[in-house]
Amino acid sequence: MIFEYAPAPESRDVVDIRPSYGLFINGEFVDGSGTPFKTVNPASEETLAEVAAATEADVDRAVQAARKAFGVWSALPGSERAKYLFRIARIIQERARELAVLESLDNGKPIKESRDVDLPLVAAHFFYYAGWADKLQYAGYGTTPLGVAGQVIPWNFPLLMLAWKIAPALACGNTVVLKPAETTPLTALLFAEICQQADLPPGVVNIVTGAGDTGAAVVGHPDVDKVAFTGSTEVGRLIAKSVAGTNKKVTLELGGKAANIVFDDAAIDQAVEGIVTGIFFNQGHVCCAGSRLLVQESIAEELLSSLKRRLSTLRLGDPLDKNTDIGAINSAAQLAKIRELSEAGEAEGASRWSPACPLPDKGFWFPPTVFTGVSQSHRIAREEIFGPVLSVLTFRTPAEAVEKANNTPYGLSAGVWTEKASRMLWMANRLRAGVVWSNTFNKFDPTSPFGGYKESGYGREGGRHGLEAYLKEIS
């Protein structure tokens, strides 16, 4: 049964949103030369702020600032760079509530996720890499930074992806030009203020806002030594092609279509929670989301009825309400894509189900959705939907589960639910994916390397492994 909850909104007064934002270049906010764009609250479609668009010339200024700062920053003793990063980590903790509210406003994710998942991980990531800055000689990747890193990040975890990019880059002695996603620039711009509060030398971090052409200018700039990108496989391919014949070092964290595999001996209640976390966390806007549920045939019926019961208790609505489980879809464009693929799912013959779930009148919303009777050839089993849509397939034997799980060009993550340890390890060995969550899902930690196999990209973020992307290979 559903209990009525009184609204429990987090106050948005904690954050001051300016009417307009400039670019952050060489330690200062400056005007952009492009036509400014608006960023909206996806839960209400209200305009939050106007943001400067960086042109190629603006990006060039940012790269020059970063190049100039590289001399100073890379020459600092690692222990000094470490202290700047520790300082940034602390300011993030101090201003965590403000950042969390701003993230939920700009992105549409529930405050309980931005507050309890994103922000703690952001601070932890800076804290973790701060500690590496003066210990690089022990890591095994050399100690020579690459230079200027051009970084382009997505809208699903705006500040967390910023942390994944900036923290290791700075720890290794690089400087950065970072482009946040067009629909979620605000927390990156608040982070720029944090850099000022931390007295970070000007030019070490530069933030250029804009759309895809700004990102292309960052990636394509001839004085950028390193390209780090998180986003779609489609754009990842273009980037890989564009750096051919250059000396730019590249890491790409791209799409996924993860299998979440449930065996007949799994703890069903825990597995149901894991399935929910796997695909409905962050509205399914997660590259490593468990978007394909592979359930052993003998328990499919029982598991699905438990899952549907559980989904009926999810609360969709105001992202700032502390009881909200499912927030808003990040943009109209993303909503259209989710709708298009869901319609394709129905048209191709799968059965669609959603719990009774009234959607707010304004904003971009999509109810939690489960497709059953899905076959491997269906688009909803092959293409990344990047929304709260689960495709359910069945299997009989472990070998069949492996075969189906690996039957995708992606290879970012996978889940395995079984109480039998030897079977779990047998599966983990055979799944061609960079992260295998067994009897859990969607767990992240700064010490734990993350990244894909195959067309999910290359390079790892997090852990000692994450340093490699930002240091010159020892040859």
Partner 1 sequence: MSERLSVRKTYKLYIGGAFPRSESGRSYAVTGAKGEFLANASKASRKDVRDAVTAARKAFAGWSAATAYNRGQILYRIAEMLEGRRAQFVSEVAEADGVSGKKAGELVDAAVDRLVWYAGWSDKISSLRGSSNPVAGPYFNLSTPEPTGVVGIVAPPMGPLFGLVSVIAPVIVTGNTCVVIASERAPLPSITLAEVLATSDLPGGVVNILTGSAGEMAPWLAGHMDVNGIDLTGADAELAQKCEELAAENLKRVLRPNGKTDWAADPGTGRMTAFLETKTVWHPIGI
Which residues contact partner 1 (rule: CB under 8 A)?
124, 140, 233, 236-238, 240-241, 243-245, 247, 252, 254, 409, 424, 428-429, 433-440, 443, 445, 447-451, 453-455, 457-458, 460, 463-465, 473-475
Q: Which of 475, 451, 448 is nearest to 464 (CA)?
A: 448
Instruction: Look up 56 and say whether it is catalytic.
Output: no
- What ranges make up the beta strands (E) of 305-428? 351-353, 369-372, 389-395, 413-417
Nearer to partner 1, 196 or 439 (CB): 439
Kind and range of the H or E run holding 218:
helix 212-220
CB of 399 to partner 1, least distance (A): 12
Nearer to partner 1, 318 or 468 (CB): 468
Q: Which of 257, 252, 197, 195 is nearest to 228 (CA)?
A: 252
Q: Alpha-carbon distance 84 to 170, whole Å?
A: 9
- What ranges make up the beta strands (E) of 31-174? 37-40, 47-51, 148-152
Residue 124 three-state SS: helix
- Check if the beta carbon of residue 157 is closer than 8 Å to that of residue 165: no
- Check if the beta carbon of residue 239 is closer than 8 Å to that of residue 229: yes
CB of 413 to partner 1, least distance (A): 9
Nearer to partner 1, 139 or 344 (CB): 139
CB of 458 to partner 1, least distance (A): 6
CB of 357 to partner 1, least distance (A): 30
CB of 94 to partner 1, least distance (A): 19
Catalytic residue of the set 172, 195, 287, 288: 287
Q: Which of 358, 387, 389 is nearest to 372 (CA)?
A: 389
- Check if the beta carbon of residue 257 is closer than 8 Å to that of residue 410: yes
Show Cβ contacts of residue 22 under 8 Å, excluding neighbours closer than 6 positions: 29, 30, 31, 32, 52
Torsion of CA 406, 407, 411, 412, to 10 degrees: -90
Nearer to partner 1, 36 or 142 (CB): 142
CB of 268 to partner 1, least distance (A): 16
Nearer to partner 1, 17 or 238 (CB): 238
Nearest-5° Cα angle at 225, 224 to 227: 80
CB of 437 to partner 1, least distance (A): 5
Q: Alpha-carbon distance 471 to 173, whole Å?
A: 9
Would you tell me the crossing angle of helices 233-242 and 212-220 to the nearest 10 degrees? 30
DSSP alpha helix (H) spans, 359-397: 379-382
CB 356: neighbour CB atoms within 10 A?
7
Catalytic residue of the set 253, 384, 461, 468: 253
Nearer to partner 1, 150 or 327 (CB): 150
CB of 435 to partner 1, least distance (A): 5
CB 12: neighbour CB atoms within 10 A?
16
Nearer to partner 1, 44 or 413 (CB): 413
Residue 288 is given by DSSP the state: T
Burial of 422 (0-12, 13-18, 19+ CB in 10 A): exposed
Instruction: Look up 297 and say whether it is catalytic.
Output: no
Nearer to partner 1, 67 or 465 (CB): 465
Could you give the residue numbers annotated as active site?
253, 287
